[in-house]
Amino acid sequence: MRLRSWRGTTVVTSKPRWKFPWIRILIVLVVLAIAYYLFYPNVYSVRADAIVRGDLVPVTPEFRARLDKLLVGCNRSVLAGQPVAIVSNFLLQADYQRQYLQGEEQTQLASDALAQNVATSIANSEALHEKYLAAELDSERLAADFGSYDRAFEAGAVSKVTRDAKQTELRAARELASGALESWKASKLLTQQITAAQTSRVSASQDLLTQAHSVEQRLGSQPLYAPVTGDIVDCLDRPQIVIEAGTPIFDIFSHQKAYIVAYFNPDDIGKVHVGGKADVNITGLSHHVTGRIAWIYPDLDALPPELTRFFWQHVQFSEFRPVKIALDGLPAKERGLLYYNAQARVSIETGRRRIGPWLIGQ
């Protein structure tokens, strides 16, 4: 714009139009939102990084065994009762095989002893039976002779002394026959007892032999079964190695036994109480879940490697207080989506809190 005067032409510049600072206000709002996100939750709650844990169920052999074959791969899911591995124990198998052979030999010896003892007892019983029959015949003969002498004595043909002598001889013969009968009966009873005892001994030897043979066969090739349904998280993937009894071949994570371990700053642990509620955000679930504080571990611990993100979180710089959080209300379908060592975030409401002269909270 130019103005004309007697002195000449003068250039006049108009003032710029004032604009509303939308960009500055937007930046301020963003900064306030970030500050609200970072600091507001810390006023009303304490938060901590967490990890999904569970009481792992081991699959172990009952004896020192050789791992012959793995039937499932590591990091797989298994069902309760599913065969997962084949193990054998060649050392114990050799011991039981030796016991089996020794038992078989002892069983044969017991059987031979049975036959010999029974045969001896039967022969003795038959001899006593023949002795009894001979005594009985002799007793019958003397009874007939005594009857003749008694009739002759009545007729006066023989003397009383002769008759009494025959009577005494008859009594002795009858006593001998009675003793022979008792000996024969005792011999038959002894034969029955020997037969029963030897048969029982042979039967017991046969049972032990059968058991030893069964154990030997079982040790030769025995499957191991998964005790629960879940995911395999630890696996001894080295077939043909010898492992001791109780050494886990697999560790199975059961979803039904899953819980959360949160690592709180020791300064915040005073705001955490057993039985309280916790808001848990778990990787793999699309929504937050409510947990229950089940236990506060008494000792400080390092942050697990899965949760360690910064150098100041290593054990040489800081330690944390672990807190166990139970997932009682989590449905079984959602439990099936959990996996071992999954990361989580835990938030616990602390209620009112005084900051300077202000009381903030519900």
Q: Do 244 and 148 have their domain in common?
A: no
- Residue-level pLDDT, tens digit, the chain, 362 residues: 444 555 555 555 555 666 667 788 888 888 887 766 665 555 667 888 899 999 899 998 887 788 888 888 888 899 999 999 888 776 565 566 666 666 666 666 666 667 777 777 777 777 777 777 877 787 787 777 777 777 777 777 777 777 777 778 778 777 887 877 787 777 778 777 777 777 776 676 666 667 666 665 665 678 889 999 999 988 887 777 888 888 888 899 999 889 999 999 888 888 888 999 999 999 888 888 999 999 999 888 888 878 877 665 666 567 889 999 999 888 888 888 888 989 999 998 876 444 444 444 44
Q: Are the C-beta atoms of residues 262 and 296 closer than 8 Å to each other?
A: no
* 59 strand-pairing partners: 250
Residue 360, pLDDT score: 47
- The verdict on residue 348 lying in a domain is yes
Q: Do 126 and 201 have their domain in common?
A: yes
- The verdict on residue 13 lying in a domain is no
User: How many Å apart are CA 148 and CA 138, to the nearest integer?
Assistant: 16
- The verdict on residue 32 lying in a domain is no
Q: Determine the residue type at 203.
A: S
Q: Which CATH number does the domain housing residue 339 bear?
A: 2.40.30.170
Q: Do 189 and 233 have their domain in common?
A: no
Q: Do 161 and 126 have their domain in common?
A: yes
- The verdict on residue 229 lying in a domain is yes
Q: Do 216 and 229 have their domain in common?
A: no
- Domain residue limits at 85: 59-89+222-250
- The verdict on residue 39 lying in a domain is no
Q: Which CATH number does the domain housing residue 99 bear?
A: 1.10.287
Cβ-Cβ contacts under 8 Å for 227 (sequence gap 6 or more):
57, 59, 80, 252
* 11 strand-pairing partners: 2
Q: Do 164 and 263 have their domain in common?
A: no
Q: Do 259 and 228 have their domain in common?
A: no
Residue 171, pLDDT score: 80
- The verdict on residue 15 lying in a domain is no
Six token digits for residue 81: 């009762």
The total number of structural domains that make up the chain? 3
Number of H helices, E strands in the chain: 4, 18
Q: Do 135 and 187 have their domain in common?
A: yes
Please, what sign has the CA dihedral across residues 28, 29, 32, 38?
negative
- The verdict on residue 25 lying in a domain is no
This prediction's pTM:
0.54
Q: Do 245 and 191 have their domain in common?
A: no
Q: Rounding to the nearest 10 degrees, give the CA dihedral for residues 140, 145, 150, 156.
A: 170
* 85 strand-pairing partners: 70, 224
Q: Do 211 and 98 have their domain in common?
A: yes
Q: Do 215 and 109 have their domain in common?
A: yes
Residue 226, pLDDT score: 92
Q: Do 267 and 235 have their domain in common?
A: no
Long-range contacts from 16-21, C-beta under 8 angstroms, 24+ separation: none
Cβ-Cβ contacts under 8 Å for 36 (sequence gap 6 or more):
none
φ, ψ (nearest 5 deg) of residue 86: -120, 125
Residue 4, classified by CB atoms within 10 Å of its CB into exposed (0-12), middle (13-18) or buried (19+), is exposed
Residue 22, pLDDT score: 78
- The verdict on residue 6 lying in a domain is no
